[in-house]
Amino acid sequence: MHEYSIVQALIERVGTEASVRHATAVHRLKVRIGELSGVEVDLLTTAYTAFRERTICERAELDVRIVPARWECPDCGAPIGRGNRLACGACAVPARLAEGDEIMLDQIEMEVR
Ligand SMILES: [Zn+2]
21-47 pLDDT per residue, tens = 999 999 999 999 999 999 999 999 999
Given its phi and psi angles, is residue 85 left (phi above 0), alpha (psi -120 to 50 degrees) or beta?
beta
CA of 66 to the centre of ligand 1 (A): 27
- Beta-bridge partner residues of 71: 80, 97
CA of 92 to the centre of ligand 1 (A): 7
Please state the pTM of the whole predicted model: 0.84
CA of 34 to the centre of ligand 1 (A): 23
Digit-coded pLDDT (tens) for 15-24: 999 999 999 9
Asked whether 78 and 92 are in contact (CB, 8 A), the reply is no
CA of 94 to the centre of ligand 1 (A): 9
CA of 80 to the centre of ligand 1 (A): 9
